[in-house]
Structure 1
Amino acid sequence: MATSHPEFDKHTTGTEVAEAFSGQIQGKNVIITGVGPNSLGEALALAIGSQQPANLFLASRTEAKVQQVADEVRKLYPEVSIESVALDLASQKSIHAAAAHIQGLTDRIDILINNAGVMLLKPEKTEEGIEMQFGTNHIGPFLFTNLLMPQLKNAAKLSESGSTRIVNVTSAGYQISPIRFHDYNTEGKEVPLDERPPDRVPAMFNMEAPGYNGWIGYGQSKTANILFAMYLSHNLAKDGIVSYGVHPGSIETGLSRSLDDNGNEVISKTNDFWKTADQGAAGMLVAAFDPNLKSVSEPSAVYLADCQFDELQPHATSLDVAERLFHLSEELVGMEFPL
């Protein structure tokens, strides 16, 4: 399987991708999380808004920030219906309220882009006591997505198979860590060898010692984004829904605002090409709208980077691990979601 535009690469902008897939965007109901000024969410909203979607639901923890972006999109594209949604992915109560709010406005969701995320080096926990990166980057989107599954399935019934999609923003940082089922709160507990960082991971990311390791927590959460996409694609193919995990590239956004000087220095050395937010949005738009991506050829063929498919490290390729993660996630939200 290949994308329809092999010429798209790390330099391609979201604006260019949206123009290329204008016909796939028109008339769609799209949800974007993590929307705020100078963010990937803003770049996504502007690119999609330019191509006449039916409705844009823009979600963020900070209402003033999402409203600022909504006003900007309305000014440029007044014909687009835009709804701002308060969504704190570190609060399951907030997630339930946000999903209910959207469900009260529409019975059809064509595209869900789970874009919001955090990166932390110091330990924090969600309202439910889950490690903040795992809770916000995976458990929050897991709950939000499954609560909205009836609306996604309704859209799929009315559309060509595979055009209803769930896009999870992941990161090449997934390579740092598998899912730590024996230590998902990243407390430094001893875990089996297959749950430890791979040998190739640089020592600065690989500290098997008591206590919190934010790099490992981040890597685990990004692996979870990929495995969640894998599980969804495998189990929702019968409903005409596909899901992808997308690495947007290295971008200077608010994601790293919680890092100290040392943490920012480490991040600065991970890539020699830094994208604009518009370039970072491009891969997500390929995953969401490329007509060539209406089915997944094999369970692990769900990962894109620089607008094209990329190979995954072994710890992010197992459907059995994806299923185990799905059930752990159900336990952590206190709900079951038979797909």
Structure 2
Amino acid sequence: MSYCKFTCEAISEMTRAATGRANRCTSSRRLDGQTVIITGANTGIGKETAYQLSLRGAKVIMSCRSIARGEEAMTDIKGRNSGANLTLFQLDLASLKSVREFAQQVSQNTDCVDILVNNAGVMNTPELSTADGFEMQFGTNHLGHFLLTMLLLPLLQNSPKARVVNVSSVGHLAGKIHLDNINLRNGAYSPFKSYAQSKLANVLFAREMAKRLGPSTTVNTYSLHPGAVHTELARHSGGGQLGDKIMGSMFLTPELGAQTSLHCILDAGLDGESGFYYSNCQRVDNMVPAAVDDKMSQALWELSVKLVNLEPHLDLPATKAS
């Protein structure tokens, strides 16, 4: 059923992109003086998000695996917005050491983070391992962002009202969390199976974090599907130049693909919501069972804490309802 729904949603997404019927963020909210961190800000949706938020007065910390590519992105953004307040720090989400070094660098430069956009990711890679031995897509897309978020949580809690935005995918519809073989070893690996698991993990992470933070928190969490977007994310999917041209004609531009991220970052109507999933700038309540499985979200959280060796004082206790 989940694969069927994924296929239907994917076709719907491509139709929406091809016909130009994608919704846009309508919020006029300013972010003057607020600190925003965006992972993977050197290209695609992340770069466009950084540009759009710079126009609203945010102090944007761009995290990129390649400093050279990050500097190119900064130059481009400042060419479009000369007043952009941008800072660039190196971050490789496939290395927990790099994640910790990045978080330390952030803490040395600011005492408050208002918005964290967990945007970076890899898709449909060959079977590879992170620096710490985890399967590449799960390790990068989920574990790297999990550790980053938890390390930055004290700074997020220093904000009067903070948001954590996880860029997931419609691919979560076909996902399953393989707790007994989270790295999909011993022949269990396939590129899309791994990707779907990691994107489901993004959704469950936002949901579980919202529950653990509780209703009185000043930190809200969101997950989202940006749409079928023509970015470098699909570089491992094949197709060559012809495939790239087809994607360019049928998929959303990064500017349109950033709209649901902007909606979750900015929209005042979401001030009282936390832990939900959004697509095309709208909340999705008809979720597949795997995406609202509270027992699995708790188990995934506990496994993630162990895998990244999270310091006990940074962990959040489970709620009785979990």
TM-score of the aligned structures, taking structure 2 as reference length: 0.84
**1:257 paired residue number:** 235
1:249 touches 1:280 (CA, 8 Å); kept in 2?
A: yes
2:119 touches 2:167 (CA, 8 Å); kept in 1?
A: yes
Kindly indicate whether residue 19 of structure 2 is the aligned counterpart of residue 42 of structure 1.
Answer: no
2:296 aligned partner, one-letter code: V
Q: Alpha-carbon deviation of 1:52? A: 1.2
**2:22 paired residue number:** 11
Find the aligned partners of 1:256 and 1:79 in 2 and give their Cα distance: 32
**1:172 paired residue number:** 170
Kindly indicate whether residue 259 of structure 2 is the aligned counterpart of residue 282 of structure 1.
Answer: yes
Kindly indicate whether residue 225 of structure 2 is the aligned counterpart of residue 241 of structure 1.
Answer: no
Q: Deviations over 1:91-145 (max 9, x none)?
A: 0111011111111110111100000000134200001110000000000000111
**2:6 paired residue number:** none
Q: Alpha-carbon deviation of 1:24? A: 4.0
List runs of 5+ in structure 1 lacking aligned partners: 1-8, 189-209
Q: Alpha-carbon deviation of 1:10? A: 5.0
1:50 aligned partner, one-letter code: L
1:95 aligned partner, one-letter code: V
Q: Deviations over 1:242-293 (max 9, x none)?
A: 111110011111111122349x97xx89xx9521101110001111111111
**2:283 paired residue number:** 309
Which structure 2 residues correspond to residues 179-218 of structure 1 after superposition, within 5 A?
Answer: 179-187=177-185, 210-218=187-195
**2:106 paired residue number:** 102
1:168 touches 1:244 (CA, 8 Å); kept in 2?
A: yes
Q: Alpha-carbon deviation of 1:12? A: 3.5
Which structure 2 residues correspond to residues 126-165 of structure 1 after superposition, within 5 A?
Answer: 126-155=130-159, 159=160, 163-165=161-163
Find the aligned partners of 1:296 and 1:234 in 2 and give their Cα distance: 11
Q: Alpha-carbon deviation of 1:44? A: 0.4
Kindly indicate whether residue 68 of structure 2 is the aligned counterpart of residue 70 of structure 1.
Answer: no
| 3-state secondary structure, aligned to 2:123 | coil
Q: How much is the aligned-residue C-alpha RMSD, in angstroms?
A: 2.1
Q: Deviations over 1:155-214 (max 9, x none)?
A: 1xxx2xxx41000000000112211101111125xxxxxxxxxxxxxxxxxxxxx34211
2:125 touches 2:137 (CA, 8 Å); kept in 1?
A: no
1:148 aligned partner, one-letter code: L
Find the aligned partners of 2:309 and 2:37 in 1 and give their Cα distance: 24
The structure richer in helix per residue is 2
Q: Alpha-carbon deviation of 1:71? A: 2.1
Kindly tell me the number of residue pairs found equivalent between the two proteins: 289
List runs of 5+ in structure 2 lacking aligned partners: 1-19, 317-322
Mean Cα deviation higher: 233-242 or 123-132: 233-242
1:24 touches 1:291 (CA, 8 Å); kept in 2?
A: no
Find the aligned partners of 1:227 and 1:134 in 2 and give their Cα distance: 13
1:187 touches 1:213 (CA, 8 Å); kept in 2?
A: no
1:92 touches 1:140 (CA, 8 Å); kept in 2?
A: yes
| 3-state secondary structure, aligned to 1:238 | coil
1:151 aligned partner, one-letter code: L
Kindly indicate whether residue 51 of structure 2 is the aligned counterpart of residue 51 of structure 1.
Answer: no
Kindly indicate whether residue 201 of structure 2 is the aligned counterpart of residue 224 of structure 1.
Answer: yes
Percent of residue pairs identical: 32
Residue of 6, 29, 36 corresponding to 1:30: 36
2:166 aligned partner, one-letter code: N
| 3-state secondary structure, aligned to 1:278 | helix
Q: Alpha-carbon deviation of 1:227? A: 0.4
**1:320 paired residue number:** 295
TM-score of the aligned structures, taking structure 1 as reference length: 0.80
Q: Alpha-carbon deviation of 1:229? A: 0.4
1:257 aligned partner, one-letter code: R
1:30 aligned partner, one-letter code: V
1:315 aligned partner, one-letter code: A
Q: Alpha-carbon deviation of 1:23? A: 2.9
**2:14 paired residue number:** none
1:178 touches 1:316 (CA, 8 Å); kept in 2?
A: no
Kindly indicate whether residue 121 of structure 2 is the aligned counterpart of residue 113 of structure 1.
Answer: no
